[in-house]
């Protein structure tokens, strides 16, 4: 390791939003001049105003400092700034450390020559924030909209439908007919559980002619434990869940799964969404009923704890981990890119850099756990399940041993250092540096042995309160150049402000309350939009992580408000939202487009039909496992990580592993440093960034997986064997297979095709020397492979 | 499926079934004309390109600049003198020699590459943003040393698509995982089809490429059956381009299955060629194999081919002894020179940009005057470009007299990326992707095209 690790440089994360709709000059300023000023001048010439000069606005530059205006637009020769950077004048050579590159000086000259055009002004004052807030839809409180009137009876059954129908009428779009019952139950089952309906479930639904038949299906699915696995995964996508830390050696976090299971259980229990958020941000500070409840609240803060770690010394790069926390929190809970305000005031949304650091202070006052890293290869600061007194009592003897060994190591290191400085070959006692190093190694071994012998107390990868502190603004997001101190608090545009004076903690509890306050116009809107998005493939706001100015405006603003208010009124119940949406007529429409609609609404933004979708990675894998009967339900317990006492991962030999199994894909071990190869192939979530929308690419490598992978061959062969076990005749087997895979019986032409296919395949296998029994199984497996590679299985109508 | 079709090549068989006019007349072709259905379809660049493709040679661990491509006489003269903070200047461990008409000096670690120096633009003013492997490796690949971003190969695949749908657009020949693992070739927020496909030398270089069915005829039957199911399903859903794209993907997959093994099959290469690369017949070991396969992939239209010479250990990270550079250089020197000559002989060098780089250089100083190793040094280091519209036989930029800081014409990683994109006909400020409310670029908000090195 080098002795001169540079602090992580930040220029690459300046959240300037490039390619503005502006003239070339402004673009030139943004791409060439602003970064240059920022890099070379802003340490002294912003808030510090060295020499009375600020260089962070056009007005300030024209006003200049003690020596007069810094720039005369159109006249580089007369501009002090240019003289200073050219080192023309002995008294002002800027920047003082090192002359700018020739190209940079040329850029500055050209900029002054062309009139010193400035980009969008930053630094919005409080009034400006209020004005922006007042003028932008998402910062307005939701208003109960009147239900659209003059809606046909069949469209007026559910309030959702009234809003949808009114827009369809307005746009001249003709709604599709209702989907048939087989299509509907397959759609609903994949939607809520990520698994296919069984043939028996399909048959029961077809037989049920009561008007409440579909409602019963929805209720059954919502009550299934598979529901939480499906919708919990969506939350895990958002919070970029992983089972490793993301530092250079990607240390495993065996306890992360507790948070994963907490998320799944919370969805299954329909935990009120506001409570779900409060627990994840400040669970450790909330009141609790019993021990079980207390532990669950602690585990919930795993959300904050799993923020990404950086470099070989994560503890020295906590500014990046906090950045990752705020970025994720902003996008996921509020649909706001708050992190844009890390280096400068947000250019589009009313969020100032100061407010970013007001939030930053809250997390700087929070103690994050530590997963281990190249330099400290063991976990620390995790939260014990036992109360602290009990923990202290149990661990006291071990801690004493460790303290003694640590003291010994420190003494030996001192001794070795002293030896090095003295430049002699040995101590007075005749010991060489090598001897001392050997002693240190022995002591470290003893240390590891003590750690390995400690009783395995249950821990969570969770946060606790740290030392409450305000932080100073980091100019340009650089923790080495600090501006003024900012009191901790929450965004003004969302009715926030500084923490109340009586707050003595980090402020996380207050933050959790602010986020879930009914006065906050975003939290409920953002969540109902996500629920909507996952039923229809597209949110009412198509950019679910961005409700700011750069995001898409809602297609149905009144419906969004209606849902948001109803969500709050109904106790933030996610399941109630599913029921409302799924029992609408809109959800039950067929996926076929009426003639003429495609031209008017090519992306089906107004929902004149259902949007067909490809199954997601987990749905494909889980379905194949269920067809073969291999799928194991429930949570698999701990991942088979190597024991912590053996951890010696470094950037050179990072932790990498792929653990497969037959549990649902949500339980696959997920690393930050590498995607699971299967999930990567089928557009799985990004374990480093919030994934609000899964893309659905089509690649030949996916086709190759379906044709040639060991997994698909194993599952289809098991599936074939399972069907053959019933002893039924081939036509019945094929029909059963179609019912299992597609939710419908095989058609006549398919049965004919299947008979011919199995016969021909059997002959091919016979000529390849396979036994009668193998031939039957392999021919059927071959048929099934084609069935599961087909579009009818891979897409949901 | 008719037995008689088996006499044709497999590709023809499937083409006639799936893509041809026998079935679904017109529909597929029409649907697939929409670029949306095929994000890898070739796209026109922003302006006339100099290069069509890139071969990116990445030396993992940080190759020492003052021991390879940046000779420092003054460092020899002042060897052992204290530099700063109690550190001592350490002389280069290898001799430099002038090569070619240009007379550019290259160290004895790279005698074969030295012979090609008149085709090479040596850059001695590289600058990365971080001094640790993980971050710097991501920096040189993605432009970001902190948060994950798409790799340069993904950006180029996204910008230009691919000329050969039977092979991936972005291939990474990497026997070992580098620092930061798969993030190095990740497409991140770009569509997943642009992510690098890692090739590990061995029997199945591309995953799932080998048919598993007991006979090849059975697989053809399966493909025919898939087509039967898909055709049935498409009835009434003709307007959905995603369905058509997936039908097409099986044809492409089948083509890949046939063409990819051939791309990796070196049996038709002549003894002279193998000799030039220094590859034993039948071997898939070492950089020679990687370089020869790279040429074959380039011939077949792969857009971005990255070669990673070693992994996150046993690499150029010579803290203990710079002599560990010797076997690493020996592994790559002759094959790289062969690659350049081979491309040139075949008239491909003009349109193939060859990039040689590493995450950072190594310190020209150390804490002890007799240190044999060197530490990480991102403030100034060397890389080179060849072919693809770059001036050969020139040096761009210089480090100071000891090789510690950039002295002139700095080539920051953003400038490096901007210039590579420019050579491919892409304006780095216009190659953007909207994600999370912002238009992202490979070069973030920086980057300057270094016109001085363009031919």
Helix (H, G, I), strand (E, B) or coil at A214: helix
Give the position of tokens 């016979």: A766
At B35, the pLDDT band (50, 70, 90 cuts) reads very low
With b meaning 16 or more CB within 10 Å and e meaning fewer, what string describes A625-662?
bbbbeebeeebbeebebeebeebebbbbebbbeeeeee
CB contact under 8 A, B257 and A708: yes
How near does any CA of chain B get to the CA of A243, in Å? 16
Q: B-chain residues within 8 Å CB-CB of A2?
A: 131-132, 319, 363, 375-376
Quick check: B17 pLDDT over 80? no
| A772 CB burial (10 A radius; 0-12, 13-18, 19+) | exposed
Give the separation between CA B360 and CA B126, rounded to whole angstroms.
Answer: 8
Q: How many CB atoms lie within 10 A of CB B38?
A: 22
Residue A9 confidence (pLDDT) = 38
Distance from C-alpha of B338 to C-alpha of B115, rounded to nearest angstrom: 10
CB atoms within 10 A of CB B202: 9
Q: What are phi and psi of A37, to 5 degrees?
A: -60, -45
Write out chain B residues lying below 8 Å of A546, CB-based: 436-437
A250–B437 C-beta distance less than 8 A = no
User: Across B313-436, where does the E strand assignment appear?
Assistant: 352-358, 361-362, 365-366, 376-377, 381-387, 394-396, 398-399, 406-408, 411-412, 432-435
**Residue B394 pLDDT class (50, 70, 90 cuts):** very high
Nearest CA in chain A to B180: A673
- Using CA coordinates, name the residue in chain A closest to B226: A786
The answer to whether the CB atoms of A320 and B195 lie below 8 A apart is no
Find chain B residues with C-beta within 8 A of A653's C-beta: 312-313
Identify which of B143, B217, B252 has the shortest CB distance to residue A700: B252
Q: Smallest Cβ distance to A651: which of B179, B193, B239? A: B179
Question: Comparing C-alpha atoms, which of A222, A299, A304, A224 is closest to residue A260?
Answer: A299
Nearest residue, CB atoms, B445 vs list A35, A311, A675? A35
Q: Give the burial class of A502: count Cβ atoms within 10 A of its Cβ; 0-12 exposed, 13-18 middle, 19 or more buried.
A: exposed
- For chain B, first and last CA: distance in Å? 55
Q: Evaluate whether A590 touches A183 at the Cβ level (below 8 Å).
A: yes
Residue of chain B whose Cα is closest to the Cα of A603:
B240
| A602, A702, A704, A796, best to mutate vs chain B, most B CBs in 10 Å | A704
Closest CA to A180 of A153, A151, A213: A213
Closest alpha carbon within chain B to A612: B240
**Is B312 within 8 Å of A654 when comparing Cβ atoms?**
yes
Q: Which residues of A touch B446 (CB under 8 A)?
A: 11-12, 31, 35
In B60-191, beta strands by DSSP E:
88-89, 96-99, 104-107, 120-127, 170-173
Average model confidence (pLDDT) for chain B? Answer: 89
| Residue A378 burial (CB count, 10 A) | 15
CB contact under 8 Å between B212 and A699, yes or no, is no
Give the closest-approach CA distance of B344 to chain A in angstroms.
32
User: Which pLDDT does position A123 carry in this prediction?
Assistant: 46
Three-class SS state of A178 = strand
Query: Bridge-partner residues for B88, per DSSP?
Result: B82, B366
- Which of B132, B183, B246 is facing A791, going by the closest CB pair? B246
Question: Do B146 and A310 make contact, defined as CB atoms within 8 angstroms?
Answer: yes
How many whole angstroms separate alpha carbon B403 and alpha carbon B380? 7
**Beta pairing, strands B406-408 & A482-486:** unpaired
Q: SS3 for A655-714, per residue? A: CCCCCCCCECHHHCCCCCCCCCHHHHHCCCCCCCCCCCCCCCCCCHHHHHHHHHCHHHHH
pLDDT of residue A129: 63
- Cα separation, B109 vs B69, in Å, equals 9
pLDDT for the residue B27: 45
Cis ω for the linkage preceding B425 (within 30 of 0): no
For A228-242, A509-523, B14-28, B102-116, which range has the lowest pLDDT when averaged over its residues?
B14-28
Query: Hey, what are A164's tokens?
Result: 């949808």
Which of B11, B147, B185, B361 has the highest number of chain A CBs within 10 A, making it the mutation to test binding with A?
Answer: B147
CB contact under 8 A, B375 and A6: no
User: Does residue A546 contact residue B440 with C-beta atoms inside 8 Å?
Assistant: no
Give the pLDDT score at A591. Answer: 94
- Distance, in Å, from the CA atom of A717 to the CA atom of A752, rounded to the nearest integer, reads 22
Residue A794 CB contacts under 8 Å (≥ 6 apart), including other chains? A614, A615, A620, B246
For residue A653, give how far its alpha carbon lies from the nearest alpha carbon of chain B (Å): 6
Which residue of chain B has the CA closest to A5?
B131
Q: Which residues of chain A register pLDDT less than 70? A: 1-27, 47-48, 119-130, 132-134, 422-428
Asked if the Cβ–Cβ distance from B132 to A5 is below 8 Å, we say yes
| Cβ contact, residue pair A8, B430, below 8 Å | no
A11 vs B133, B221, B446: nearest CB: B446
Tell me the HSE value of B196 on the side-chain side, using a 13 A CA sphere: 28
pLDDT at A126: 54
Structure-block tokens of residue A697: 């690419």
Minimal-distance CA residue of chain B relative to A340? B438
* Residue A748 near residue B216 (C-beta atoms within 8 A): no
Nearby residues of A60 by Cβ (< 8 Å), 6 or more positions away: A53, A54
Question: Which DSSP helix (H) or strand (E) runs through A442?
Answer: helix A433-453
Q: Which of A199, A545, A202, A255 is nearest to A380 (CA)?
A: A255
CA distance A133 to B287: 59
B134/A675 CB distance under 8 A: no
Mean of pLDDT values over B288-307: 97
Interhelix angle for A199-207 vs A213-223, to 10°? 150
The residues, any chain, with a CB within 8 Å of residue B110's CB and separated by 6 or more, are B68, B69, B329, B333
Mean pLDDT of B169-196: 88
Residue with tokens 């194991």: A632
Inter-chain touch A6–B177, beta carbons under 8 Å:
no
Closest CA in chain A for residue B132: A5
Nearest CA in chain B to A545: B436
Cβ contact, residue pair A789, B226, below 8 Å: yes
CA–CA distances in Å: residue A362 to residues A365, A507, B315: 5, 5, 42
**B180 Cβ partners below 8 Å, 6+ apart?**
A248, A673, B133, B134, B137, B138
Interface test with B, best of A373, A656, A708 (most B CBs within 10 A): A708
Both tokens assigned to A98: 């090192």
Beta carbons of A349 and A337 less than 8 angstroms apart: yes
Classify each residue of A51-86 as buried b or exposed e, where b means 16 or more C-beta atoms within 10 Å of its C-beta: eebbbbebebbeebbeeebbbbbeebeebbbbbbbb
Chain B nearest-CA residue for A2: B375
Here the tokens at position A339 are 């992190």
pTM over 0.95: no
Q: Give A65's DSSP letter.
A: B
Q: Nearest by CB to A673, from B183, B206, B410: name it.
A: B183
Q: Which DSSP state fits A537?
A: S
Q: What would the pLDDT profile of A121-168 be if each residue is shown by its tens digit?
A: 544 455 666 676 668 999 999 999 999 999 998 888 899 999 999 999
Closest by Cα among A344, A103, A319, A16 to B412: A103
Q: Would you state the pLDDT for residue A726?
A: 93
- Strands B170-173 and B304-308: what pairing? parallel
Structure tokens at A650: 């470094």
What is the arithmetic mean of pLDDT over B1-9?
A: 34
């Amino acid at each position: 390791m080098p002795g001169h690790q540079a602090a992580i440089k930040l220029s690459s994360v300046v959240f300037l939003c490039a390619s503005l709709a502006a003239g070339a000059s402004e673009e030139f300023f943004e791409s060439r001049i602003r970064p240059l000023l920022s890099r070379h001048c802003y340490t002294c010439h912003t808030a510090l105003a060295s020499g009375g000069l600020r260089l962070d606005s056009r007005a300030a530059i024209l006003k200049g400092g003690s020596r007069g205006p810094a720039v005369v637009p159109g006249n580089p020769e007369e501009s002090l700034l240019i003289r200073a950077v050219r080192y023309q004048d002995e008294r002002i050579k800027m920047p003082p450390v090192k002359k700018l590159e020739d190209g940079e000086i040329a850029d500055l000259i050209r900029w002054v020559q062309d009139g010193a055009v400035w980009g969008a002004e930053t630094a919005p004052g409080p009034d400006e924030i209020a004005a922006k807030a007042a003028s932008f839809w998402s910062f307005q409180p939701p208003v109960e909209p009147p239900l659209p009137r003059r809606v046909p009876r069949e469209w007026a059954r559910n309030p959702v439908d009234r809003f949808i129908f009114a827009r369809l009428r307005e746009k001249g779009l003709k709604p599709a007919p209702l989907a048939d019952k087989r299509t509907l139950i397959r759609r609903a089952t994949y939607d809520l559980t990520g698994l296919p309906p069984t043939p028996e479930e399909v048959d029961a639904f077809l037989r049920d002619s009561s008007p409440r038949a579909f409602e019963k299906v929805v209720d059954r699915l919502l009550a299934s434990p598979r529901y939480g696995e499906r919708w919990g995964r969506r939350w895990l996508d958002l919070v970029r869940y992983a089972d490793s830390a993301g530092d250079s050696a990607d240390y495993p976090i065996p306890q992360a799964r507790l948070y994963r299971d907490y998320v799944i259980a919370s969805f299954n229990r329909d935990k009120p969404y506001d409570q779900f958020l409060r627990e994840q941000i400040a669970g450790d500070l909330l009141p609790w009923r019993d021990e079980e409840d207390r532990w669950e609240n602690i585990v919930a803060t795993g959300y904050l704890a799993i923020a990404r770690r950086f470099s070989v010394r994560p503890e020295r790069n906590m500014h990046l981990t906090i950045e990752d926390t705020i970025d994720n929190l902003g996008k996921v809970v509020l649909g706001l890119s708050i992190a844009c305000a890390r280096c400068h005031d947000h250019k589009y949304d009313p969020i100032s850099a100061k407010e970013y650091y007001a939030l930053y202070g809250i997390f700087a006052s929070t103690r994050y756990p530590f997963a281990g890293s190249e330099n400290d290869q063991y976990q620390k600061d995790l939260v014990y399940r036992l109360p602290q007194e009990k923990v202290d009592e149990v661990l006291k003897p071990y801690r004493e041993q460790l303290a003694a060994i640590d003291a010994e190591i420190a003494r030996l290191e001192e001794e070795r250092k002293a030896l090095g400085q003295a430049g002699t070959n040995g101590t007075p006692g005749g010991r060489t540096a090598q001897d001392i190093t050997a002693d240190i190694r022995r002591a470290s071994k003893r240390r590891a042995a003590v750690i390995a012998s400690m009783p395995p107390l249950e821990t969570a990868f969770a946060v606790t309160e740290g030392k409450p502190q305000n932080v100073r603004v980091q100019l340009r997001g650089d923790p080495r150049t600090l501006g003024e101190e900012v009191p901790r608090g929450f965004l003004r545009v969302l009715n926030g402000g500084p923490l109340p004076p009586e707050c003595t903690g980090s402020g996380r509890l207050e933050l959790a309350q602010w986020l879930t306050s009914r006065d906050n116009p975003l939290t409920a809107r953002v969540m109902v939009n996500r629920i909507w998005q996952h039923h229809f493939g597209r949110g009412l706001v198509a950019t679910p992580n961005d409700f700011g100015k750069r995001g898409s405006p809602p297609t149905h603003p009144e419906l969004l408000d209606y849902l948001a208010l109803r969500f709050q009124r109904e106790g933030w119940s996610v399941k109630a939202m599913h029921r409302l949406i799924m029992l609408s007529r809109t959800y039950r429409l067929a996926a076929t487009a009426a003639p003429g609609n495609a031209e008017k609404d090519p992306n089906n933004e107004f929902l004149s039909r259902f949007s067909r979708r490809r199954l997601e990675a987990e749905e494909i894998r889980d379905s194949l496992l269920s067809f073969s009967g291999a799928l194991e339900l429930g949570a698999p317990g701990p991942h088979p990580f190597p024991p912590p006492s053996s951890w010696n991962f470094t950037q050179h030999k990072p932790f990498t592993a792929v653990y497969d199994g037959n549990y649902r894909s949500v339980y696959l071990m997920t690393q930050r440093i590498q995607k699971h190869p299967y999930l990567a192939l089928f557009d799985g979530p990004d374990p480093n960034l919030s994934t609000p929308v899964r893309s659905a690419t089509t690649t030949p490598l996916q086709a190759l997986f379906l044709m040639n992978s060991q997994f698909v061959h194993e599952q289809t062969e098991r599936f074939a064997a399972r069907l053959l076990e019933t002893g039924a005749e081939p036509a019945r087997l094929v029909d059963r297979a179609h019912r299992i895979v597609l939710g419908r019986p095989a058609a006549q032409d398919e049965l004919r095709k299947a008979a011919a296919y199995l016969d021909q395949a059997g002959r091919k296998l016979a000529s390849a020397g396979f036994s009668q029994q193998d031939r039957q199984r392999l021919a059927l497996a071959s048929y099934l492979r084609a069935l599961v590679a087909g579009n009818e299985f891979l897409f949901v109508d | 499926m008719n037995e008689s079709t088996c006499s044709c090549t497999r590709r023809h068989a499937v083409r006639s079934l799936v893509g041809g006019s026998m079935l679904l007349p017109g529909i597929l072709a029409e649907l697939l004309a929409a670029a949306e259905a095929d994000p890898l379809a070739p796209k026109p660049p922003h302006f006339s390109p100099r290069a069509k493709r890139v071969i990116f040679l990445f030396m993992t661990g940080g190759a020492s600049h003052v021991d390879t491509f940046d000779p420092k006489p003054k460092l020899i003269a002042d060897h052992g003198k204290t530099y700063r903070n109690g550190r001592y200047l350490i002389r280069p461990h290898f001799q430099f020699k002038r090569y070619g008409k240009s007379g550019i000096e290259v160290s004895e670690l790279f005698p074969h590459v030295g012979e090609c120096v008149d085709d090479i633009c040596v850059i001695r003013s590289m600058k990365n943003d971080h001094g640790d492997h993980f971050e710097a490796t991501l920096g040189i690949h993605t432009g970001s040393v902190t948060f994950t971003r798409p790799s340069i190969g993904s950006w180029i695949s996204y910008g230009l698509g691919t000329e050969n749908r039977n092979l991936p657009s972005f291939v990474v020949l990497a026997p070992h995982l580098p620092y930061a693992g798969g993030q190095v070739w990740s497409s991140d927020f770009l569509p997943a089809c642009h992510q690098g496909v890692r090739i590990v030398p061995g029997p199945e270089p591309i995953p799932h490429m080998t048919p598993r069915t007991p006979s090849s005829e059975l697989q053809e039957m399966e493909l025919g059956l898939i087509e039967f199911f898909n055709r049935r399903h498409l009835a009434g859903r003709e307007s959905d381009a995603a369905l058509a794209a997936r039908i097409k993907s099986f044809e492409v997959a089948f083509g890949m299955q046939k063409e990819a093994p051939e791309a990796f099959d070196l049996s038709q290469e002549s003894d002279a060629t193998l000799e030039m690369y220094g590859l034993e017949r039948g071997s898939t070991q070492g950089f020679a194999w990687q370089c020869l396969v790279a040429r074959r992939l380039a011939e077949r239209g792969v857009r971005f081919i990255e070669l990673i010479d070693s992994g996150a250990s046993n690499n150029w990270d010579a803290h203990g002894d710079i002599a560990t550079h010797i076997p690493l250089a020996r592994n790559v020197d002759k094959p790289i020179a062969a690659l350049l000559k081979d491309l040139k002989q075949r008239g491909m060098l003009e349109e193939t940009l060859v990039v040689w780089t590493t995450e950072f250089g190594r310190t020209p100083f150390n804490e002890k005057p007799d240190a044999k190793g060197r530490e990480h040094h991102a403030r100034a280091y060397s890389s080179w470009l060849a072919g693809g519209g770059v001036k050969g036989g020139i040096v761009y930029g210089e480090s100071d007299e000891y090789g510690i800081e950039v002295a002139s014409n700095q080539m920051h990683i953003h400038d490096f990326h901007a210039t590579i994109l420019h050579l491919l006909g892409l304006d780095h400020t216009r190659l953007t992707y909207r994600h999370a409310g912002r238009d992202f670029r490979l070069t973030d908000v920086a980057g300057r095209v270094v016109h001085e090195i363009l031919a």
